[in-house]
A = this chain, B = another copy of it.
Amino acid sequence: MIHPSAIVSPKARLGTQIEVGPFTIIHDDVQIGDGAVIGSHCEIGLPSALAEGAPLVIGDSALIRSHSIFYQGSTFGNRLVTGHRVTVREKTVAGENLQIGTLSDLQGHCTIGNYVRFHSNVHIGQKSSIGNFVWIFPYVVLTNDPHPPSTVLRGPRIEDFAAIATMSMILPGVTVGEGALVGAHSSVNRDVAPNTVVAGAPAKFVCNANEIKLKDGTGRPAYPWRDHFHRGYPEAVVAQWLKEAEARHVSA
């Protein structure tokens, strides 16, 4: 149901069973799949010359919470979920089931894989490249200008399964390797090797990720996190993770 106070362009191409909350605006160049729920006070498909005519495309089963802003010119797979007051600029290309926390700000011109989770108040600079199953926690900033202000833009690259803890920043052009963990409140100015932990400002090597133990009383390794943390992922994906974990333990 579309609330009568919402302003929805007749040119927007909306799927079936869409809900749109009060005082929300949906502009012309918008294409949204079936079953989307869009909260109140949003602005969806904000026109922008920087989108070069591309529409905003959102897959099926999206949940966009109130006061959020999406520009035209980005593309999202199915099951996009956002918190409140997110901002997404032009030319963001994201896979399935991206979650974007409250107040997060995606500056556009970036690529994001499948099943990525941004927690609250994350800032993703332009030219960032983010893999699959990545976690980015509150107040993390991905930067892109080595010597601001300049016209050089070098986005960071965050590989599959990496996790960046709260209030850390990733400096321009840095790669955080697959399965790596950046500790909280770190400033990362050089590449992080896969499956390692770094922390500090500037961030330094702490240990291999699998040396950290979970604080749940089991003494199991905390990383790879996919060995124990499965909330919100598809059953088939989790089954594969468990199979891989078992293979690792057998071979170890």
Contact = CB atoms under 8 A, between A and B. Distances in A.
A105 B122 CA distance: 13
A152 B105 contact: no
Interface stretch (A51-59, A72-80, A131-139, A237-245): A131-139
Instruction: Bin the interface of chain A by size.
Output: 35 or more
A185 B184 contact: no
A41 interface: yes
A214 B121 contact: no
Given A67-B67, A67-B69, A169-B167, A121 B147 contact: no
Given A41-B41, A123-B139, A149 B201 contact: no
B200 A146 contact: no
Contacts of A222: 146-147, 150
A157 interface: no
A207 interface: no
Interface in A221-248: 222-223, 225, 228-229, 231
Given A23-B23, A167-B187, 16 more contacts: A5-B7, A7-B22, A46-B66, A66-B69, A105-B121, A107-B120, A123-B139, A139-B139, A146-B215, A147-B225, A148-B165, A151-B229, A152-B216, A154-B215, A171-B184, A185-B187
11 contacts: A39-B43, A105-B121, A117-B149, A123-B138, A137-B143, A139-B139, A149-B229, A150-B229, A151-B228, A151-B231, A169-B184
